Amino acid sequence: MDDHLHAAGNLPLGLADKLFFHLEGNHGLEAETHLLGNPANDKTGSYYIRPLGRPIVEGFFGGPGAIAIEDAGVLEAFAFAIEELTALLGGKIEKYLKPISSSSWCNVEWIHGSYSHALPGCARDRETLAKPVSERLFFAGEATSRFDFSTAHGAWESGIRAVQEFAACYPKAVAP
């Protein structure tokens, strides 16, 4: 277990949060556009406009920006993003932006972060964390994925791997 605790310590969680807006009406924004709020501000958002042609704006905030929007609260976070978007696109864009959803990973009990990242020289600790501690304790999650860390599919695939490891230890416990 000490190896797993050491490995987990070398794979801490970073913080990234998202805000989503629905675009209503004839907004005139091109699909698949990317905007950076204010490059001089480390709390700025990165905005993905109309992903896959959908009427959505995805705001991405990392590190200090994620902390700032979580500390401010949901309403203020959306207000900040609208302020940045109107500075980039003009004041008329505000009437087309309707807040729909946000994340707040730092404030989720038992999580306190978003995605794992390996400290310098510690990427192999993902393999250590992925190994079963015993025939009774199995680890899964994106942090255990050697190639697909920091992704939902890496978490999904690691869950399948952990179930397969469990099934190998307890073949009678798994239905055919």
Mean pLDDT score across all residues of the chain: 94
- pLDDT, average across residues 138-165: 94
- pLDDT at position 175: 64
Distance CA 131, CA 140 (A): 9
What lies within 8 Å, CB to CB, of 132 at 6+ separation is: 138, 139, 162, 165, 169
- 73-106: pLDDT as tens digits: 999 999 999 999 999 999 999 999 999 999 998 8
Distance CA 159, CA 136 (A): 15
What is the band of 173 on the pLDDT scale with cuts at 50, 70, 90?
confident
- 5-45: pLDDT as tens digits: 999 999 999 999 999 999 999 999 999 999 999 999 999 99
Both tokens of 134, joined, read 């015993």
- pLDDT, average across residues 63-71: 94
Among candidate residues 92, 116, 18, 31, the one with its CA nearest the CA of residue 59: 18
- pLDDT, average across residues 134-139: 90
